[in-house]
Each structure stands twice: as structure tokens, then as C-alpha cells.
Amino acid sequence: MAPRVLISDKLSDAAVQIFKDRGVEVDFRPDLGKDKDKLAEVIGDYDGLAIRSATKVTPKILEKASRLKVIGRAGIGVDNVDIPAATARGVIVMNTPFGNSITTAEHAIAMMFALARQIPQADASTQAGKWEKNRFMGVELTAKTLGIIGCGNIGSIVAERGIGLKMKVIAFDPFLSPERALALGVEKVELDELLARADVITLHTPLTEKTKNVLSAENIARAKPGVRIINCARGGLVDEVALRAALDSGHVAGAAFDVFSVEPAETNVLFGHPNVVCTPHLGAATTEAQENVALQVAEQMSDYLLAGAISNAVNFPSITAEEAPRLKPFIALAEKLGSFAGQLTDTDIKTVRITYEGAVAEQKVKALTSAAIAGLLRPVLADVNVVSAPSVAKERGIVIEETTRDAVGDYDSLVTLSVVADDFERHVAGTVFADGQPRIVDIKGIKVDAGFAPNMLYVTNEDKPGFIGRFASLLGDAGVNIATFALGRDHPGGDAIALVEVDGPVPADVLGKVSALPHVRQVKQLRF
């Protein structure tokens, strides 16, 4: 069945065409983003949801999204998606981190000129029939200092444009490396210095706990008198009430805002001030940017839904379309090894150690670890999946340790999973053979060679003569057919294990009889 995608925001038609061309069913309902009740009603029918900033993907919406596998944001900011809730439900959230950055940087530059020359105000006055040549005295930008808060993709483009305008560009961004600053021709400074020196401040950070109110009343007061402030990033980065007061007092000469603490901003404390210029979240609104992000999000979502390829996910490592088929058998192996350990573990797991040896260590092991954890937790938490597993494990206080190394043993690739609880540690290892089938090759240091099957018995016993015969006839008498039988032991007469594939579930009374056989220590029914 073809996957189904809902577009609930105003995306370029290009997205619809891409989905159709790729064989994905698509419903274009740009009205739904603003109608959360209707969205909740229909979301259960879709595997994918393509959005911009108008659709709020809340835990309530996600609760109804029983089929949803991927949310694609045609744009950059994903603050309208509850990422932890999506992750907990195993939904990949992806964005298009570059498609609209030039356009948004250009909007910030446009806003800077609008402020410097009061273009919107002069336009309104001129078209109102006034000829107020003396009212609109501007400032020249050449040689002025442009202070950029957040010098990432967009901030860097603004910096380059600022330098092109012969401005002195300084930037505050704790994650901006000195090398990158040098390459951009930007002077990296602390926030206080930026505030003290900048004639124009432009914000280009995401909204986080750290950046919220980065231009607080206090910081606005520290800014240079006559400063102009531009926000084309996110509402909430600037204390709007404090900014209004600073505009009223004349400390701030002008402000240009594209984003607001509440959107859509039908009212705002900044509105109506003569030195304020506002646009309704238009940063990304050009034909070019909208085409870029729509095409990209549709391609990315189709790649995931049709081929398991993941790019630009904010809650999962990237997997290319070439990697996905190579990774698939190892994902199955990791998940089954996890499941094996999970089905044998009844107590609280403290630590999970996963070691990747040989060729597999070169693959995207983060994805494999997530699969192993999903397999491990599934016996207790039915709806955990590869995306949600790491966050669920974290919530339960399970420490995950991951190691990669060169091949040391007989296998090209070996994955070893160790589960540590208070009173025991259990290891299980497996590989993928040339046929692409995962195999279990080591349990607790005992070598075995078994595939995974829907119904299996795992028996541990003392290595004493007679066990196999008694065990096989007991199952035979109970009408349980043995399909495959794998044995291993640490040394003659020592600890032995049997992994037995049977043709159907084994009744509890038969399991009881197996565990009562002489020398049997443990018997467990496993399902894969």
C-alpha cells in the first residue's frame, strides 16, 4: 500500500508533484494547520505530515497519529513540533536546514535598510499625498557596526552581506569557531561587547532556554544609544515590552520585527510605534525559498517512507538511500539481539553495552544501537520503536555505552550486546551472513550458531549425557515439532545451552516438564 502524506500548511505545489511522482499518496489541505480539531480528526489516516510554521504538532495531535512515521518541516524552525513527544512515539522529525536561509538573510538586510531609511513610513506618507522631505532623515550604513547574535547558516549569510555593504561585522555566538569567524571576516565578541559596540543588532539564533529574552530589559539598556534591532529569527528572543519602553525613551532608534512572541500577531506592544517596521513572518517567503523547501521536504519524506533513508532528522541520525539497504540486516540483527536479551531479563537494567567489531563498525552504529534498545525494551513496552528507544531508555535511567573497534575474532562483523543489572551481566553476540540473515553466534561466551525464528526455546543445562534425547522425545510426545536445533557448551561436562526452533508455541505444561528434566537449569520460550 502506498504511504499517505498530509500537507497541512501552505507549501509550494512543487511538493504535491514530487510526492505523486514518487508514488506517495498526498492530500493538500493547507487549511488544516490552523484547525487543530480537524487535524486531530484526520491525522490517524497518514504516514507523513508536511508542515511549515502554522501547524502546531502537539502531544494531543500525536496521540491521534497512530500511523504517523515522519513529520517534514518545509523550513528551518521546528519549535512548532513537540519533538520529545514525537520521538517518544517513534516519529521522525526532519527539516530543510538550508533551503530558505539566503531568503531569510535577505529579509534581515531588507529590514535593516527599511529601518535606516524609514522606507515604510516614507512610503505611507508619500502615498498619502504629503511630501515630508524633512521628516525622514536616515542613517548611512557604510562603516557602521553590525552585531549578529547567532552566526549559523543565516547569521553567516547576513555577515557576508553586511561586509559587502562595507559594514564592520561583529558576532556573538558561543559555537562560532575562531577559524570560521576569520573565514567569514567577522570579529567574534562576547554579548556585552556586541551590545556596547553595535549600531544595528540582528538576531539569528533558535529560541531555546538560553536564547529566550537574550535581549532582555537589562541587555537592551546596555546597548549603544540609538541602536536599531532586527528580529527575523524567533519571537521571544527579545523582551518586547522592554523594547517598546526603550523605543519610547529613544534609547533604541528603531526596531524591525518579522517574528513575534505570539503568532499570528494580531496585536503586539510594538505595533503603532513610529520607528517600528513589522512583517508577518515573511522571512522565508520568496518563490525561490518556498520551492526549495517544498521540493526538499517532499524528497526527504518520500525517501524515508519508501526507502528508509533519513536526512536532516532532528531526532535520528542520517541514513542515506545507499546505506539503508546495507544497514537493514544489521538493524534486524541488533533488534533481535536486544529482543533476545530483553526476553531473558526480568529485572531492572542498569547499563547496556554494545560493541561493534569489524565492517559493521563503519556503519551508522547509532541507528543500530537504537534498534538494539528497541528490541531490548519491547518485551516490557510494546510500542517502543527505533526512534523512541533511546529517549525511553534515558527516561528509565538506563546507561547506554557504545564501542566500535576493528575485527578481533572470526567474523567480518560482530555485534555484542551486554546487559548489566544489579545481580548479573548477560552477553549475546551475532553477525549477518552473506545471505543477509542475522545469526546468533555467542551466548554468555558459549559459541552457538542459530538463526532467529518466530518460536524458539532457549534451554540452559549441565552438559551431561542423555539430555538431548529426553528433551527431544518430550517435545515429540507433546506434538511439538523441532525445526532446527543448535547446541553449545563452554567445556565438556560444563555449562551447555540449546537454542531450538519449534513450529509453534509450546504450551506452559510442556515447558514445565522440560524444566523438570534432569540437569536443566532454565527453559524459556522466545519469540522473534
Ligand X SMILES: O=C(O)C(=O)COP(=O)(O)O
Ligand Y SMILES: NC(=O)C1=CN([C@@H]2O[C@H](COP(=O)(O)OP(=O)(O)OC[C@H]3O[C@@H](n4cnc5c(N)ncnc54)[C@H](O)[C@@H]3O)[C@@H](O)[C@H]2O)C=CC1
**Separation of alpha carbons 310 and 70, rounded Å:** 10
Q: Indicate the residue among 11 and 374 with the shorter CB distance to ligand X.
A: 11
The catalytically annotated residue of 52, 89, 228, 281 is 281
Q: Which does 295 bind (CB under 5 to 8 A by kind): ligand X, ligand Y, none?
A: none
Helix, strand, coil shares of the chain, percent, nearest 5, are: 35, 25, 40
**Separation of alpha carbons 182 and 151, rounded Å:** 12
Q: Which stretch binds ligand X (CB under 6 A): 180-188, 278-286, 303-311, 483-491?
A: 278-286
Q: How many CB atoms lie within 10 A of CB 359?
A: 17
Q: Indicate the residue among 53 and 296 with the shorter CB distance to ligand X.
A: 53
Question: What are the distances in angstroms from CA 355 to CA 345, 393, 410, 441, 458?
Answer: 19, 18, 15, 14, 23
Q: Reply yes or no on whether 491 is catalytic.
A: no
Amino acid present at 260: F
Report the SS3 class of residue 355: strand
End-to-end CA distance of the chain: 24
Q: Which stretch binds ligand Y (CB under 6 A): 74-82, 131-139, 303-311, 388-396?
A: 74-82
Counting contacts by CB under 6 A, is residue 302 touching ligand Y? no
Q: Which does 329 bind (CB under 5 to 8 A by kind): ligand X, ligand Y, none?
A: none
Site string for ligand Y, 182-221 (x = CB under 6 A): ----------------------xxx---xx----------
The catalytically annotated residue of 107, 228, 234, 439 is 234
- The alpha carbon of 451 is separated from its chain's Cα centroid by a whole number of angstroms, namely 33
Cβ atoms of 421 and 347 within 8 Å: the answer is yes
Q: Indicate the residue among 156 and 363 with the shorter CB distance to ligand Y.
A: 156
Give the number of residues in contact with ligand Y, rule: CB under 6 A: 31
Q: Reply yes or no on whether 52 is catalytic.
A: no
Cα diameter, the chain: 108
Cell of 13: 505545489
Q: Reply yes or no on whether 470 is catalytic.
A: no
Cβ atoms of 334 and 368 within 8 Å: the answer is yes
Amino acid present at 215: L
Q: Which does 474 bind (CB under 5 to 8 A by kind): ligand Y, ligand X, none?
A: none
Shortest distance, position 278 Cβ to ligand X, whole Å: 15
Cell of 528: 522473534
Q: Which stretch binds ligand Y (CB under 6 A): 23-31, 71-79, 179-187, 481-489?
A: 71-79
Q: Which does 150 bind (CB under 5 to 8 A by kind): ligand Y, ligand X, none?
A: ligand Y
Counting contacts by CB under 6 A, is residue 104 touching ligand Y? yes
Cell of 490: 563452554
Q: In terms of DSSP bridges, do strands 413-421 and 349-358 run parallel, antiparallel, or are they unpaired?
A: antiparallel
Counting contacts by CB under 6 A, is residue 236 touching ligand Y? no
| Active-site annotation, residues | 234, 263, 281
In the complex, the residues that contact ligand Y under the rule CB under 6 A are: 75-77, 97, 100-101, 104, 149-155, 172-175, 204-206, 210-211, 232-234, 258-259, 281, 283-284
In the complex, the residues that contact ligand X under the rule CB under 6 A are: 52-53, 75-77, 100, 281, 283-285
